[in-house]
Amino acid sequence: MSPNDKPANEKVKVLDTVYHGRLQPHSLEAEQTVLGSVMIDTTAFPKVTEYLHRESFYWDKHAVIYEICEELFNSNEPIDIMTISEKLKRIEKYDEIGGDLYLEELQDATPFPSNVEFYAKVVQEKFILRTIFTTSQEAAEKVFEPDADPEIVLDQAMDKFFSIQSYKLSKSYRPVKDIALETMDELGKIAERDGELTGITSGYKKLDKLTGGFQPSDLIILAARPSMGKTALALSFALNAAIQNKISVGVVSLEMSAKQIAMRLISSYTKVPLYKVRQASCSKAEWRKIANGVAKLSELPIYIDDTRSEERRVGKECRSRWSPYH
C-alpha cells in the first residue's frame, strides 16, 4: 500500500490530503480488517453497515471493495474472494486493486473477525475527523473570497458541522432481548421509588400524575391558538423545574427578546400580573415583592437565548435607518 493511492472521500480529493506533512486521519489496518472480516465471516457485513458507507474509507481501493460487498449483500450473493474478484473484473478494477493476491492479504490481516464492529467504529471515527478537517478547510478558503459575507460563511460552516453529527457511531437496530433487560432494570428503579415522581416536575400535580414528570428524551409540544398562554405555561414549567428539581433550564426564544422573557418570568415567580409589570403600575408592596423576586430569580440556573429575535430586531432597525422612505 502506497501513500500515493487516492483517498476515497471526494471532499478530500478537492482539498489538501496532506496537512503540515501529515496524511489526514485514517487507519489502514482497521480498513483492511473490516474488509477481511466481511470475506471470512458471513454474519459480519450486516454489523458493518450500521456504521460504514463507501466514503468512510480513506483508500480508494478499499472503498471500491466495500461497494462491491454492498452490492453482493443486497443481491443475496455470497461475499468471498471469488465473487468479489468477478465483480472487480467486470468493472475493470481487478488489476488496479491488486487482484486475488490483495484480497487474500486482507483475509490474512484479519486476526479476529468477531471484532469487526470495533474496527468499523475506528474507520468511521477517522472518517468523521477527516470530514471535520475538510469542513474547516472549506470555510478557511471561503473567507479569502473578495465578496465573502461573514454571516453566510459562518452559517454554511455551522450547517456542515451539524450535519457531521448525523454520522452514527452506534447501532440503529438492537436485539429486543437487550432492550427488555434494560427496561426491566429501569422498572426496578421506578419500583424502588414507591410511587414518587420519576421525572422532572412540571409544578402541576395532576399533570405530573398523568405523565410521571418530564422524562429524558421526551418531546413535549404545547399547542393552542394565539394568546392562549402557551409561553406562560412553558415558562412556568421552566421555573418549577429550576426551583423544585434544582436543574439547569435553557429557554430559546425565536420571537421574544431576553428582557421580555425575563419580565414574564418575574411576573410568574412573584404572581404580580404581567400588565402591571409592563405598565409600571404596581403598588409599593408589589414593587417590594418584585425586588425580592428578582434577587431570588437571579440565583436560579435558567439560561435564555434570544439570538434570532435579536437579529431580527437589529435587521429591522438597519432597514428602517437606510430605507429611502425613512
Count of Cβ atoms closer than 10 Å to residue 109 Cβ: 15
Q: Which of 86, 255, 310, 311 is catalytic?
A: 255
Q: Are 282 and 272 in contact (CB under 8 A)?
A: yes
Q: Rounded distance, CA 90 to CA 152, Å? A: 45
C-alpha–C-alpha distance, residues 238 and 300, integer Å: 10
Work out the end-to-end distance of the chain between its first and last CA atoms, rounded to an integer number of angstroms. 68
CA dist., res. 133 & res. 141, Å (int): 12
Residue type, position 299, single letter: E
Residue 173 CB contacts under 8 Å (≥ 6 apart), including other chains: 50
Distance, in Å, from the CA atom of 100 to the CA atom of 69, rounded to the nearest integer, reads 15
Q: For cell 429591522, what's the residue?
A: 316
CA pair distance 126, 292, nearest whole angstrom: 54
Phi then psi for 274, rounded to 5 degrees? -60, -40
How far does Cα 6 stand from its chain's mean position? 30
The C-alpha atoms of residue 59 and residue 43 are separated, in whole angstroms, by 24
Beta partners for residue 175, in sequence order: none
> How far is residue 40 from each of residues 88, 97, 104, 112, 243, measured CA to CA in Å?
18, 19, 10, 10, 58
Question: One-letter amino acid identity for 71?
Answer: E
92 catalytically annotated: no
Question: Which sequence positions are flagged as catalytic?
Answer: 255
